[in-house]
Amino acid sequence: MYLRRTMRHVVHVPSAVALFAALTLLGQGCFFLDDDFEDPVSAESPRINPCDIVSVSCQQWTLDWVELERESTSGRLPSVRVVSEEEFAAKVQPSMTPPNMEASNFETIMRLLGVAPQNQSLEEATAMDSAMNVAARYYPDEDEVLVVARESMDPRLAVIVLAHELVHALQDQEGAFELEPSALDARVSYRAAVEGEASYYELRVGRSLGWYDLEDGQWDSLLDDWTERVRSDVADSSWPMLAASRWLPYPLGTRWVLELFRSGGDAAAREAVRNFPNHSRELLFDDEPNARSELREVQCPLGSPFDGLTELEGEPLGRLLVWAFLQAYLSEDWLAWLSAAHLESDRIHLFEEPNTGARVLGWRMRFEDSALAQDISTELREQRQSWHVARWGDELQIVVSSDESVFHDWVAPDDASPCPVGDDS
């Protein structure tokens, strides 16, 4: 999906402006554009003039360019329609939650962690993004690309938007969409591979057409800048954990595909989705010099903090979402990024107290050393005095509820227990 976004995702390269994607709606991919975006081309006259994507011949021409860059053949042109904003808004209903997690539970987790606005629901946020920001989307069930007609869209940009969606169509035809996992951290990584390939070849097509001035030596600095901009926007977002899972897969995934291309050419890049990384740590911190090759699981996966609770959700969130959470509370973003780089494992659980309907969240994280866990627990206690934050060795635990009265007779196990969760020792 290619989206138009009213934030600052304009990544500059010398003599050109590359307009990038920054939002994953945990459905098909999407790109955003600034309201006041500049032309995504050099100031010089383009080497090849754009065509009108309304025509089938232009659609096929764009597909031919995509296949030329991918070194793929025999791709089938899906149905492509340019529709009004009203028709598009009625059609686009993206899912923003992982398939194994209820939307209400996902929203509750973020609210309990204090990383969701009180005056907006997840559903409202989805509806607003869909109505205002979506520019194009590929629908695999219908084998159709819809592009919203916007007066402000340069014809060259329309071709680039279509090229991005046609990569998704080719991925679908090659069976890539059948590989989508259910676990949240793996799904974020999968989406990074899907969107990374589409973004990478969108840039390649624009460069080949003479609309992007992007030399081989500029890729790394461009992707560094893109990642930093997205990290900044995540920090500014009222939904930081959601924003991280939606936006960061684009620049991180593009880098992933670029590295595949550097090691194995287009044949390797085309296989990015089939070989997607199993964990977000491979996208964010694969080059971290102190990272362990084998990560340790939490010693004591958190069960119910006390009797009588019903578990609603339970799964690891992974480094990307741990970073998004920590950057909302730690004093420096670089410290949050470094802390997430040294996360070994985590597991979050959401429970319900049946008598009151209160929700109770428990999250356990294991870091590479106890000093880091100590520093994080100290800052979290200072920021959220109502939370039950505990640290034992290199593991950190957070327990919080929507109703503090549920803790009236709860006593955390002491350090002699099999899974101590008491105060620091």
Please indicate, yes or no, whether residues 38 and 97 belong to a single structural domain of this protein: yes
Residue 225 lies in a domain: yes
Residue 315 lies in a domain: yes
DSSP letter string, 340-387: HHTEEEEEEEEEE-TTT--EEEEEEEEESSHHHHHHHHHHHHHH-TTS
Q: Which domain holds residue 402?
A: 310-407
Cα separation of 98 and 17, whole Å?
33
Please indicate, yes or no, whether residues 160 and 251 belong to a single structural domain of this protein: yes
Residues 6+ apart with CB under 8 A from 188: 24, 245, 249, 280, 318, 320, 321
Residue 64 lies in a domain: yes
Closest by CA to 325, choosing from 313, 335, 315, 314, is 335
Please indicate, yes or no, whether residues 251 and 359 belong to a single structural domain of this protein: no
Cα separation of 369 and 356, whole Å?
38
Please indicate, yes or no, whether residues 317 and 249 belong to a single structural domain of this protein: no
Please indicate, yes or no, whether residues 146 and 25 belong to a single structural domain of this protein: yes
Please indicate, yes or no, whether residues 263 and 329 belong to a single structural domain of this protein: no
Q: Does residue 380 register a pLDDT over 90?
A: yes
Please indicate, yes or no, whether residues 66 and 116 belong to a single structural domain of this protein: yes
Please indicate, yes or no, whether residues 374 and 238 belong to a single structural domain of this protein: no
Please indicate, yes or no, whether residues 34 and 147 belong to a single structural domain of this protein: yes
Q: What is the pLDDT of residues 318-344, one digit of tens each?
A: 999 999 999 999 988 888 988 998 999
Question: Residue 183's pLDDT is what?
Answer: 81
* pLDDT tier, 160 (very low <50, low <70, confident <90, very high otherwise): very high
Q: What is the pLDDT of residues 116-132, one digit of tens each?
A: 998 888 878 766 766 66
Please indicate, yes or no, whether residues 342 and 376 belong to a single structural domain of this protein: yes
Question: Residue 9's pLDDT is what?
Answer: 28
Average pLDDT over residues 355-367: 91
Alpha-carbon radius of gyration of the chain: 23
Percentage, residues of the chain above pLDDT 90: 40
Q: What is the count of structural domains for the chain? A: 2
CB atoms within 10 A of CB 61: 17
Q: Which residues pair with 27 in a beta bridge?
A: none
Residue 68 lies in a domain: yes
Please indicate, yes or no, whether residues 178 and 327 belong to a single structural domain of this protein: no
Q: What is the pLDDT of residues 175-214, one digit of tens each?
A: 998 888 888 888 888 999 999 999 999 999 988 888 887 8
- pTM, two decimals, is 0.82
Please indicate, yes or no, whether residues 280 and 318 belong to a single structural domain of this protein: no
Residue 82 lies in a domain: yes
Cα separation of 342 and 323, whole Å?
10
Q: What is the pLDDT of residues 70-100, one digit of tens each?
A: 998 889 999 999 998 888 877 765 444 444 5
Average pLDDT over residues 145-150: 88
